[in-house]
């Protein structure tokens, strides 16, 4: 039974203003007397189900997605349990609002729709006092930190401090999809300025109106944050989110063996994409070892996917050199080949011997890939000619248009199914509606990272892992693929129904925790029943009793 000890002495108005504890009109008679709430609430007591009916009615009355986003954030700020109950029970409806694509628009307008601060802001002016800032956070047992510097928000680019909407949204999905307690989640904005001229000229912009910090001073600020986080929140996992390519790879490489950390844009995207490729084997009849993958986009998402595919192929017995030769990349200057002198470090390991090729269509014709993966942030780059070429070369062409938000997708679901005469195996980063082509309904799979990172995070928390490894993302991808049913595949969906996301996340968490125990990445003794241990750790959005 929950007791008043969980309230940390909070009573009356203070209690009503704490979103982690507030139940609003659902406080019962005895609770109102005991906690000094008598007269502060309307006299009629409501159940959480009645509250849910009210907020859903108000939510659906909103005229556009941005207004719906604002409403949900306001609900989250006053009653977390009710917010998560609403999101969990209507996840397919709510996810496009609290995350992609609507969160992208919300970030663009963040300074104009700002109501109250959420999370922590660390600016370049805070060097030398980051630990003190972290100690200002009211929750002591933080287990998941999502931090961004706002340089590469979705496919929208540099949004500076407006990028805070991304850590807030990501952590909402950690709770909604994997049941991580919201009191253990901390969003952080690392404000190092912005090079977005429109934001610099906007008087309502909330961040530092200065050019981006670069070089040793930037690195020193990140290092101070990581060190302080390890001291203040020793059991926390740090997720780097939406950093620019130049910093994302560098920071991941530097910290992955020094802290419990990962980069979702690199590793989470890789995991969900690999899972989709494994699922698609059941439709194409081609194992990964016999496939050739062509990427449009050679940034952190694309290279991360390539690296995890290589790991998967190696585990299937393919030598690393041959595994890398199954992955080809096209960037803004054409096919990534060894003869090019303009390649940055992360592209070189996928540069192969081949004559220069200027366009994506030429690359498709020359390489004859079995799967085309778009992570370019460039809309409509999978043209009709490109997709039709893939359909001519493959009985069941795999077409993944993964760029976010929806407006950045390389092609739409309708285009894919139409141009492949219904034979395409399609997945996208943002949701698309079902498509009816010649009387057959296709349900496009959403290769959303929310299938992967919440479960990985839950597994890290449940095992108290000291590190996050590529193997964890590999086992997460394998587990996700095994949960795709024949019914899913019959309608062309290569990911499980979103309604099963908490079940999926729990299964992934068990696999991730097993890796931590098997590789001695934790000091915790393995629980006798790991699955039960994981499920016990999951947050329940139903109200507790305070008497």
The residues that are catalytic are: 99, 170
DSSP strand pairing (425-428 vs 440-442) = unpaired
Residue 293: phi, psi to the nearest 5? -110, 130
Distance in angstroms (rounded) separating the CA atoms of residues 309 and 373 = 12
Number of other residues whose CB lies within 10 A of the CB of residue 460: 30
Helix (H) or strand (E) segment spanning residue 262: strand 261-263
Residue holding tokens 């290569």? 494
Residue 235: phi, psi to the nearest 5? -105, 10
Number of other residues whose CB lies within 10 A of the CB of residue 243: 25
Beta bridge partners of 331: 334
Distance in angstroms (rounded) separating the CA atoms of residues 543 and 84 = 11
Distance in angstroms (rounded) separating the CA atoms of residues 31 and 28 = 5
Residue 352: phi, psi to the nearest 5? -115, 165
Residue 157: phi, psi to the nearest 5? 90, -150
Q: Extract the tokens encoding 57.
A: 């009615």
Number of other residues whose CB lies within 10 A of the CB of residue 60: 11
Q: Extract the tokens encoding 65.
A: 């997605």
Question: Do residues 350 and 292 touch, judged by C-beta distance below 8 A?
Answer: no
Helix (H) or strand (E) segment spanning residue 329: strand 327-331
Beta bridge partners of 435: 442
Distance in angstroms (rounded) separating the CA atoms of residues 472 and 477 = 9
Q: Extract the tokens encoding 381.
A: 């780059």
Number of other residues whose CB lies within 10 A of the CB of residue 289: 14
Q: Where in 381-509 does DSSP place strands (E)?
A: 398-401, 425-428, 435-437, 440-442, 445-446
What are the residues whose beta carbons fall under 8 Å from the beta carbon of 272, sequence distance 6 or more?
447, 448, 449, 451, 452, 477, 480, 495
CA dist 427 → 56, 79, 271, 408 (Å): 29, 35, 14, 14
Residue holding tokens 């799979």? 445
């Amino acid at each position: 039974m929950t007791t008043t000890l969980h309230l940390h002495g909070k009573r009356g108005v203070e209690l009503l203003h704490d979103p982690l504890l507030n139940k609003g009109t659902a406080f019962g008679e005895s609770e109102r007397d005991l906690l000094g709430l008598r007269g502060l609430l309307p006299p009629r007591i409501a159940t959480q189900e009645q509250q849910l009916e009210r907020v859903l009615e108000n939510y659906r009355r909103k005229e556009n997605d941005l207004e719906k986003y604002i409403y949900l954030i306001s609900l989250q700020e006053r009653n977390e349990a009710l917010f998560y109950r609403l999101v969990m029970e209507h996840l397919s409806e709510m996810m496009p609002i609290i995350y992609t694509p609507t969160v992208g628009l919300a970030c663009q307008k963040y300074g104009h729709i700002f109501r109250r601060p959420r999370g922590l802001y660390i600016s370049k002016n805070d060097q030398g006092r980051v630990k003190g800032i972290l100690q200002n956070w009211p929750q002591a047992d933080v287990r998941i930190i999502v931090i961004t510097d706002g340089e590469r928000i979705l496919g929208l680019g540099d949004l500076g401090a407006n990028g805070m909407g991304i850590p807030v949204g990501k952590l909402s999905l950690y709770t909604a999809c994997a049941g991580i307690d919201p009191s253990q989640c901390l969003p952080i904005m690392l404000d190092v300025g912005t090079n977005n001229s429109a934001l610099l000229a906007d008087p309502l912009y909330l961040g530092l109106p200065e050019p981006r910090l670069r070089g040793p001073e930037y690195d020193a600020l990140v290092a101070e944050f990581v060190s302080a986080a390890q001291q203040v929140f020793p059991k926390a996992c740090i997720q780097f989110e939406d950093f620019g390519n130049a910093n994302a790879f560098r920071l991941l490489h530097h910290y992955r063996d020094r802290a419990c950390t990962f980069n979702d844009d690199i590793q989470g995207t890789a995991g969900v994409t690999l899972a989709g490729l494994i699922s698609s084997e059941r439709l194409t009849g081609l194992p990964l070892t016999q496939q050739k993958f062509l990427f449009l986009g050679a940034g952190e998402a694309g290279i991360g996917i390539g690296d995890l595919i290589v790991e998967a192929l190696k585990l299937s017995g393919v030598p690393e050199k041959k595994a890398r030769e199954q992955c080809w990349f096209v960037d803004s200057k054409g096919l990534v080949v060894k003869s090019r002198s303009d390649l940055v470090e992360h592209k070189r390991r996928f540069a192969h011997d081949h004559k220069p090729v200027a366009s994506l269509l030429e690359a498709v014709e020359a390489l004859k890939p079995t799967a085309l993966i778009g992570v370019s942030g460039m809309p409509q780059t999978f043209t009709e000619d490109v997709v039709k070429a893939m359909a001519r070369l493959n009985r069941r062409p795999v077409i993944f248009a993964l760029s976010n938000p929806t407006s950045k997708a390389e092609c739409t679901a309708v285009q894919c199914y139409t141009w492949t005469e219904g034979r395409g195996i399609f997945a996208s980063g943002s949701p698309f509606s079902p498509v009816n082509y010649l009387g057959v309904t296709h349900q496009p799979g959403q290769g959303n990272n929310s299938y992967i990172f919440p479960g990985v995070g839950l597994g890290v928390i449940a095992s108290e892992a000291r590190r996050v490894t590529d193997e964890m993302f590999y086992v997460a991808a394998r587990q996700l693929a095994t949960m795709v049913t024949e019914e899913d595949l019959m309608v062309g969906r290569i990911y499980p129904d979103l309604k099963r996301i908490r079940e999926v996340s729990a299964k992934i968490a068990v696999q991730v925790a097993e890796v931590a125990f098997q590789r001695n990445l934790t000091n915790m003794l393995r629980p006798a029943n790991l699955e039960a241990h994981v499920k016990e750790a999951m947050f329940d959005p139903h109200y507790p009793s305070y008497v």
